[in-house]
């Protein structure tokens, strides 16, 4: 085994209230670490997985990190190169924090770095990472993978063509993310969604999405706050998260600009104008879970603009 590389890929908040499958942003922690080493044994292998408690397969084709890495290697004509991957899971499964996306994002960047960066930009690595995450939930979408890999706040105009764009990050804005220790799988969370959307709700959601984008470009915190309102997905998924509306009310009462479900849940995020408010908001959100004897973790973070990084 020869010297290798280590990549950190951060957790993400997908949907960002009004942008179902079209918006996501990265936070500083938690995240996953992916290590890649050259090996004298031909082919890609997953040599070690930690922090997963037996939940992740070692078969490359069935593992989000492994499949993403394999697709990249095939694209580069390097599928027979001897490479071992080590996956260090440092974030919970079914948390709504993009766990599978972080592994896929970290894996493609690790392979690219190990091979001397044959692919120049993270944007060019994105399709392979999305293919990897698709193994986890069956959907081809980039709202977690893109921000984990590329950092910042990402808008996805089209998941099918991966027409993705960075949005401005207003100075000082912070996220408070609370993860209650219950599991909500993305597949299950998608099953509760109706295929029918009312015209009234569609108009409201479109207005909120447009308002959020304009607010980010103009650093208009009031507009951002008014726009962080999900009238389609949140009402359907809230029932999967105990005390969701109490947590949301606590966040808004503590000064948050807005609050909603992170990805498929059960994590709940809030955005605030600065770190001090974000800390107070996070503690208020936590208190609801503490009062109801639900263990939870709090992450207070600026928007992570780096994405996956070489450690």
Say whether 25 sits in a helix, a strand or coil.
Answer: strand
Tokens of 107: 């894996």
CB-CB contact of 98 with 79 (8 Å): no
In order of 11, 43, 144, 158, 206, the CA distances from 232 in angstroms are: 24, 45, 19, 19, 11
Q: Assign residue 49 a region: left if phi > 0, alpha if psi is -120 to 50, beta otherwise?
A: beta
Q: Which of 22, 133, 219, 305 is catalytic?
A: 133
d(CA 305, CA 188): 30
Find the angle CA(97)-CA(133)-CA(308) to the nearest 5 degrees: 60
CB-CB contact of 301 with 29 (8 Å): yes
CB-CB contact of 77 with 121 (8 Å): no
Say whether 188 sits in a helix, a strand or coil.
Answer: helix
In order of 38, 120, 179, 208, 273, the CA distances from 221 in angstroms are: 48, 35, 25, 13, 7
d(CA 258, CA 260): 7
Q: Which of 12, 22, 64, 186 is catalytic?
A: 186
Q: Is 186 a catalytic residue?
A: yes
Backbone angles phi, psi at 252, to 5 degrees: -65, -35
The full length of the chain comes to 311
d(CA 69, CA 107): 6
For residue 138, how many other CB atoms are within 10 A of its CB? Answer: 10
Point out the residues that are catalytic.
Answer: 133, 186
């Amino acid at each position: 085994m020869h010297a290798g590389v280590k990549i950190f890929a951060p957790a993400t908040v997908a949907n960002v209230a009004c942008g179902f499958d079209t918006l996501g942003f990265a936070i500083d922690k938690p995240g996953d670490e992916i290590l890649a080493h050259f090996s004298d044994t031909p082919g890609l292998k997953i040599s070690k997985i930690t922090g997963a408690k037996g939940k992740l397969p070692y078969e490359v084709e069935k593992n989000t990190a492994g499949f993403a890495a394999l697709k990249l290697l095939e694209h580069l004509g390097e599928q027979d190169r001897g490479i071992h991957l080590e996956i260090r899971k440092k974030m919970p499964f079914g948390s709504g924090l993009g766990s599978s996306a972080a592994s896929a994002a970290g894996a493609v960047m690790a392979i690219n770095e190990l091979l001397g960066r044959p692919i120049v930009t993270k944007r060019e690595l994105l399709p392979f990472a999305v293919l990897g995450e698709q193994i986890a939930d069956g959907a081809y979408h980039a709202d977690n993978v893109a921000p984990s890999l590329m950092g910042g706040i990402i808008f996805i105009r089209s998941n099918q063509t991966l027409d993705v764009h960075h949005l401005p990050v207003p100075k000082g804005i912070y996220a408070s993310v609370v993860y209650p220790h219950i599991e909500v799988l993305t597949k299950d969370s998608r099953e509760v969604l109706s295929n029918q959307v009312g015209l009234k709700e569609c108009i409201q959601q479109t207005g909120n999405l447009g308002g959020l984008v304009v607010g980010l470009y103009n650093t208009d915190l009031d507009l951002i706050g008014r726009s962080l309102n999900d009238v389609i997905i949140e009402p359907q998924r809230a029932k999967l998260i105990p005390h969701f509306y109490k947590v949301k009310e606590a966040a808004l009462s503590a000064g948050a600009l807005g609050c909603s479900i992170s990805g498929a849940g059960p994590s709940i995020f809030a955005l605030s104008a600065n770190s001090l408010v974000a800390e107070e908001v996070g503690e208020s959100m936590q208190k609801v879970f503490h009062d109801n004897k639900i263990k939870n973790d709090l992450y207070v973070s600026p928007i992570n603009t780096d994405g996956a990084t070489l450690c």
